[in-house]
Amino acid sequence: MSELGVGPATIRQAVSELVRLDKIETIPGSGTFIAPKSTQRVATPADTAWQTLALGSDVSERSVLDPLVGLVPVGVIDLASGYPDSTLQPTALIAASVREAARRPGTFGRSASEGLGPLREWFEEQIDPERRHRVLIMPGGQAALSLIFRALCLPGDVILMESPTYAGALVSARAAGLTPVPVAVDGEGIDMDQLEETIGQSGARVIYVQPRFQNPTGATLSVKRRQRLVELADKHHLIIIEDDWLADLAEPGWSAGLLSSIDPDGHVVHLRSLTKSIAPGIRVAAIGAVGAIANRLHQVRASEDFFVSPLLQETALGVVTSTRWPGHLRKLRSALLDRRRFLQAHVQKVPGLSLVQANEEATPSPLHLWIDVSGRDGRTTVSDQVVREAALRHGVSVVAGAAWYPGTSDSPRIRLSNAAVGHDALELGVERLAAALQELAIQ
Ligand SMILES: Cc1ncc(COP(=O)(O)O)c(C=O)c1O
């Protein structure tokens, strides 16, 4: 630390990166050592050429999700990930909850595939105060989406989606053999007239929507449109997948108009996750549904991975029922909104970046900015992917927007997130992005 003039956090980060690269190893109780050559051994490469034939065409689309899930290389500023960094996680509370869970009998045993009773009850209460929904505990929202698409749809089915929408939902829907069909989004959420027309034309039975903090536009579905969506679902026998992914970051009291709570006849399959409000490694999420849809989800769920580890479920339950939980949420919300304001102020100083404001009146998404990079005259021919690559060369990771459209995008967009880094890195990240845009002559 004294030689390099850096703090303990930087050293810790460097050490864990070197361990990851197999350059050094840490032996508890002894110290940290240069890794022996044997662990850096290079094996004779296998001749796997035959596998490309056996696998057929590539459907994985993994590269779309890499910026969201993967770690950025050392020195690169992460404006792509939507997971709050460790300074915003309730680490002491999680640690206390893990210790408590570990002492409880049965924690290392099995769980019913739908999840532990008390955790399911907590989610039931959150999803609908009247508790009409049967809850399934899932290992994160992404796994929940994947289960919902495969359990409720058939390969070849059409699924209606906001345009743009969460890329992970698109990847997962396509992997289930579904064909996403776009419906436009404006400041009040999904365009209802276009939706009604598209239902008629496509014969779709399922729609995927995010009712608040729509990722990536930040739009919030207005109360009027929420009501109309439920009515349309009733008229056309439509299943609504309501992904309330940032529920914990909304102001308390907001949930009065969730689709799940205004839907009398079980059209809504509700989804929420704790990975943003606790920590990405506490992979606990829940699906709530009613009637035969709930039965189908419960049947298919066990065939996937049996159940979520009771240690994780107990830990999550301990955290969300702690008296410290509401205070943590308040702090997290205000820290993220503060970072977002800071990021926005810096973005607005860069000529090539133009904020796409979903709705000036609604509470902005605490995590993201959705940005047009088509330049002042709106006519750049540079794609969002080229912007991402140039930004990476300049040391900042951003999300390229094209993969977030169920159809085609009309303008190059990027998403910037303020979740994973603090003020200094946000400022430097925007400077690096500005340099990348300058190199591409976008202004
Ligand atoms: C809209 C939306 N849904 C679902 C997810 C899945 O999140 P997780 O698997 O971490 O719960 C994300 C992740 O960013 C998201 O943005």
Task: Flag whether 104 is in a domain.
Answer: no
Mean pLDDT of 350-366: 80
- CB 142 near ligand 1, within 6 Å: yes
13-22, 241-250, 332-341 — which is least confidently predicted?
13-22
In whole angstroms, what is the distance from residue 300 CA to residue 149 CA? Answer: 11
| pLDDT tier for residue 255 given thresholds of 50, 70 and 90 | low
Q: Which of 68, 242, 243, 245 gets mutated to test ligand 1 (max ligand atoms within 8 A of its CB)?
A: 245
Q: Based on the domain organization, do 221 and 262 belong to the same domain?
A: yes
Rounded to 5°, angle at Cα 350 from 345 and 352: 135
Asked, for residue 99, whether it belongs to a domain, the answer is: no
**Band of residue 109 on the pLDDT scale cut at 50, 70, 90:** very high
Supply the CATH number for residue 368's domain.
3.90.1150.10
If one counts the domains in the chain, the total is 3
Tell me if 140 CB under 6 Å of ligand 1.
yes
Predicted confidence (pLDDT) per residue in 177-211, tens digit: 999 999 999 888 899 999 999 999 999 999 999 99
Q: What residues make up the domain containing 36?
A: 8-55
Provide mean pLDDT across the span 381-404.
94
- In this prediction the pTM is 0.88
Among 320, 335, 366, residue at a domain's last position: 320
Task: Give per-residue pLDDT as tens, 124-153.
Answer: 998 887 888 999 999 999 999 999 999 999
Based on the domain organization, do 205 and 306 belong to the same domain?
A: yes
| 60 assigned to some structural domain | no
The CA 141 to ligand 1 mean position distance, Å, reads 5
**For 302-316, 337-351, 364-378, which range has the lowest pLDDT when averaged over its residues?**
364-378
Indicate if 114 and 220 belong to the same structural domain: yes
pLDDT confidence tier of residue 96, bands split at 50, 70 and 90: very high
Is residue 310 included in any domain, yes or no? yes
Ligand 1 proximity of 82 Cβ (cutoff 6 Å): yes
Q: Is the CB of 275 under 6 A from ligand 1?
A: yes
In short, whether 364's Cβ falls inside 6 Å of ligand 1 is no
3-state secondary structure 149-167: HHHHCCCCCEEEEEECCCH
CATH number at residue 297: 3.40.640.10
Contact in structure between 396 and 343 (CB atoms under 8 Å): no
Quick one: 311 and 334 in the same domain? no
- Among the residue ranges 252-256, 317-321, 390-394, the one predicted with the least confidence is 252-256
What CA–CA distances, in Å, run from 26 to 20, 129, 163? 11, 49, 47
**DSSP bridge partners of 26:** 32
Q: Same structural domain for residues 275 and 333? A: no
